[in-house]
Structure formats: structure tokens, C-alpha cells
Amino acid sequence: MNNVVEASGLRVVRGKREVLHGLDFSIRAGEVTGLLGPSGCGKTTLMRALVGVQAKVTGSLTVLGRPAGAAALRPKIGYVTQEASVYEDLTVTENLKFFTRVLGAPRSAVSDAIETVDLIDHKDQVVRDLSGGQRSRVGLAAALLGSPELLVLDEPTVGLDPVLREQLWGTFRDLATAGVGVIVSSHVMDEAERCDRLLLMRDGAFLADGSPAEIKQKASADDIEHAFLALVRGAVR
């Protein structure tokens, strides 16, 4: 399977502190990779480095065969940040039409994206009047407009009810099946089992990198939360 991201010795300094300490990893096309770890461990920083908006990045970081941040990558990466970056006073459709113009994507991408995130019934509603979960789905729809080959999702399911979380994970799965490389961050360990691969992170370094089954086996644990704790305690080498 193709790697959409390859990183070696990835380091990032924020302020005066190094927050990512020489990471080696890859992300594959056609898989959902979960980036899991506690608040402040560096998940957002890693994602910012992937999409090329993070300063003071050293080491090697290649995305779709080009250095992260290269202008040619812009239409090929969908990035959904923790704060929905859509216009509150526009409708769902108006927002997406605007972003198709920015991205140079075809008009037909609007209805496809609305369908993918299941917002057909709300397409003419002003974003301000949507629920939190619906708003985050508008952000996801915007990220899908350019038909990205890599989708970078920073805690996309925070604050969503279980039904919506289930639906969104279904969408991530469908995108991966279509060949997209999907990386999803979360600090909720119970989302781990939905991923093909996990990068377990703590304090800017990886504790483990593998499938949920491999990590549980390595840590002799029944679930990822206990595996994480065992790895933190250094019980597993």
C-alpha cells in the first residue's frame, strides 16, 4: 500500500520548547490512522506540520511525494481544525460554493460533499443556526471539496453524540475504502478500535505504532486504554 506521508526525525519547536521529539512514522493510503494521546501531547502540532502551517519544523516530512507545505499539495489535502472554519452568516451551500471557488473545485463537488456528510436536509440553513455536530460536518464537507488524497482531521468527533460519531466514523471508513489516507486525532481511547492503525503519543513521542490488535497484544491488554497505561508505566519494552 502507498505511503501518503513519510516522516523521519520530525522535530518541532513551539515557543522555547521542543514539542515533537524526532518522530518516525508513515501514513498509508486506504487506511484510517488514529493519532491518540492526552491533551497537550502534540497531536495538533503534528497535524499542522503535515499540512504545512507549522513553523520551526526540522527533520524529513514528505506528503504525497513532496515536502510538506509545498504549494502543489494544497488541493490534495483536506484539513479540519478543532474550530470549524466556515462562515456563520452563510448557508451550508453558500459556504461550500465559496470554498469550491477558492479551491478551483467543480460546482458538482458541493452536492457530493453535502451528501457525504449527510446534511441534505440542512443545506439551505445558515451555519449559525446549526448544532455543533452539524457545524463540524460542514467543516468536513469543505475539506472534501477538492477530492483530497490525504484527510487530516483534528478531533473531529469531540462533543458529538454517539449516533453522529458513528456516522462520521462510517464516513471516514468510506473515504479510506475509496483510497484516501485518513489521519484522525482523538484523546478518547474508545475511538481507537475504529482505526486500522494507531500512533499512540505522549509528551511529543510515540509510545506505540501498530494496529489496535498488535498494540493490545504487545501490552497484554484487553483494550487500548489499558495498553496505553501499560506502555506509559514502561511495563512493555
Ligand X SMILES: Nc1ncnc2c1ncn2[C@@H]1O[C@H](COP(=O)(O)OP(=O)(O)OP(=O)(O)O)[C@@H](O)[C@H]1O
Q: Which residues of the shown chain bind ligand X in the complex (CB under 6 A)? A: 14-15, 19, 37, 39-45, 187
Question: Tell me, what amino acid is at 13?
Answer: V
Strand blocks (E) in 39-146: 57-63, 66-67, 77-80
Pick the closer one to ligand X by CB: 100 or 136: 136
Report the half-sphere exposure of 120 (CA within 13 A, side-chain side).
Answer: 5
> Where does residue 55 rank: exposed (0-12), middle (13-18), buried (19+ CB within 10 A)?
exposed
Closest approach of Cβ 154 to ligand X, in Å?
7
Closest approach of Cβ 40 to ligand X, in Å?
4
Closest approach of Cβ 54 to ligand X, in Å?
9
Chain position carrying cell 513519510: 6
Give the span between the Cα atoms of 68 and 142, in whole angstroms: 21
Pick the closer one to ligand X by CB: 42 or 146: 42
Report strand pairing: 77-80 vs 66-67.
unpaired
- Per-residue buried b or exposed e for 78-113, using 16+ beta carbons within 10 Å of the residue's own CB: bbbbbebebeeebbbbbbbeebbeebebeeebbeeb
Pick the closer one to ligand X by CB: 83 or 129: 83
Pick the closer one to ligand X by CB: 31 or 154: 154
Closest approach of Cβ 84 to ligand X, in Å?
15
Closest approach of Cβ 173 to ligand X, in Å?
23
